[in-house]
Structure 1
Amino acid sequence: MILVVGGASSGKSAFALQLAGEKARRAFIATAQPLDAEMDERIRRHRTLRGPSWETAEVPLKLAKWFRANETAYDSIVVDCVTLWLSNLRERRVPDSRVPGLVAKLIHAMRMTTARVLVVSNELGGGVVPMEPEARRFRDLAGRVNQQFAKEADEVYVVMTGLPIRLKPKERG
């Protein structure tokens, strides 16, 4: 599993798609939900950029179930993004205390697939401290979830201004 993190519009999704390569059977797992016109346009634009060679599945909540159902169906799978998945869980009133267990089940399901799995997530901890307590709790939860994925990932990259930096494993030399 490969984790790609970065800020908003940092180039992390494009980098993950590049890492996925030109495999024959590629899936893009979108966790975004088109809740308004702007998000609908963003989803459409991203789908156009991927092109027709990517099969897109919209999976806002049950990611582990999707992976279990598709263990051998793909060569490369990009999940974009964990942060929106967390937002979707919150919207469904899933308690924060349940999230680490859900993440562990998801990581296990990802490990069971034969595909190269790339996970995209937002790095929310690099900005100012949010004013609202709920926003601080979400930022902290997202940070803990990113750490959970990073610990289990074979490779971890951070993308800043379109430039990927490999964090794990460390470059030699």
Structure 2
Amino acid sequence: MTISLILGGARSGKSAHAEKLAAGSAKDVVYIATAQAHDDEMQQRIELHRQRREAGWTTVEEPLALGQAIRRLSAPGNVVLVDCLTVWLSNLLFSEQRDYPEVGRIVPPEAFARERQSLLDALGDAAGDVILVSNEVGMGIVPQGAISRWFVDEAGRLNQAVAACSDRAVFVVAGLPMMLKGLPC
């Protein structure tokens, strides 16, 4: 059982790299898609990802309960590919909204903490290989708005936590994978 984190910026090639890893495993692939099509542009992005996937892969759409999905779908003979953690984070942070003066309408902190911990626990308990794709959003300028800074901070914390429990971490830039942790892939 191997946990791999594939990081990169927008259009860096991280998803394609993760898909190549999954396809090369010679195991059954379960693709957990976290995106939701709330507008035409996102629908087009989702469609591009669907077209790239191998025909024999099983796709499960799970925008919120990611830890539960990994627990349910992970098995010794398969690879679970999650694309992507930052989209999941966005879904989660803005799902059960309440007003908070410091950042606006967000998910209650206890609900976010519970789902985040569920994900980390599921990775520790995974019965098969798991490949997680995530955006590295903290390398640019500090966002002007409080809610954007909060998202960047939470994404950075999530990436650190997942990297800590991963066997392998890869940073993809311009389609080129750079090993951060573990053996090359």
| Alignment RMSD | 1.9
Structure 1 residues 61-70 or 98-107, which shifts more?
Answer: 98-107
Contact 1:28 1:78 (8 Å CA) reproduced: yes
TM-score (norm 1): 0.90
Contact 1:12 1:162 (8 Å CA) reproduced: yes
Mark the runs of 5 or more structure 2 residues left unpaired by the alignment.
Answer: 98-106
Question: What per-residue deviation string (whole Å, max 9, x for no partner) do you get for residues 73-114 of structure 1?
Answer: 851111011101111111113234654543232122133233
Give the paired residue count: 171
2:14 to 9, 12, 20: 12
2:119 maps to a residue whose letter is L
Contact 2:30 2:59 (8 Å CA) reproduced: yes
| Matched residue SS, 2:35 | coil
Contact 1:29 1:56 (8 Å CA) reproduced: yes
Mark the runs of 5 or more structure 1 residues left unpaired by the alignment.
Answer: none
Question: What per-residue deviation string (whole Å, max 9, x for no partner) do you get for residues 117-144 of structure 1?
Answer: 0011000111111111110111011001
TM-score (norm 2): 0.85
**Does structure 1 residue 80 correspond to structure 2 residue 83?**
yes
Q: Partners in 1 of 2:52 and 2:181 — Cα distance?
A: 28
2:154 maps to a residue whose letter is L
Percent identity among equivalent residues? 42
Q: How does 1:62-77 map to 2 (within 5 A)?
A: 62-72=65-75, 75-77=78-80
| Matched residue SS, 1:56 | strand
2:8 maps to a residue whose letter is G
Contact 2:74 2:80 (8 Å CA) reproduced: no
Structure 1 residues 153-162 or 73-82, which shifts more?
Answer: 73-82
Q: Partners in 2 of 1:116 and 1:54 — Cα distance?
A: 15
Q: Against the structure 1 CA distance between its residues 101 and 148, is the aligned structure 2 distance closer, same or farther, given a 3 Å change threshold?
A: farther
**Does structure 1 residue 123 correspond to structure 2 residue 140?**
no
